[in-house]
Amino acid sequence: MGLFKRFPIKESTAIEFRWETFNTFNHTQFTTDATNNSVTRGFGSSTFLEAKNTHDPRIMQFALKFIF
């Protein structure tokens, strides 16, 4: 999700403020290890599709852009 606001300075110049977020609502997203999937371990494995890790939590970044 991203939001931005442009602030004009003169006729041909402006500053743009940008705010972006990833995993905005901070929901846990589980993953499995690359070595622990059905291709390498098989469907009969006791750890098939077992959550071993999570993706990154909420990440935010800010930016300023000078437009001329």
Which residue, among 14, 3, 51, 10, has the nearest Cα to 31 in the 3D structure? Answer: 51
Residue 42 has pLDDT above 90, yes or no: no
Q: What integer pLDDT is reported at residue 57 of this predicted model?
A: 87
The answer to whether 65 and 7 have CB atoms below 8 angstroms apart is no
What pTM does this model have?
Answer: 0.58
Average pLDDT, the chain: 82
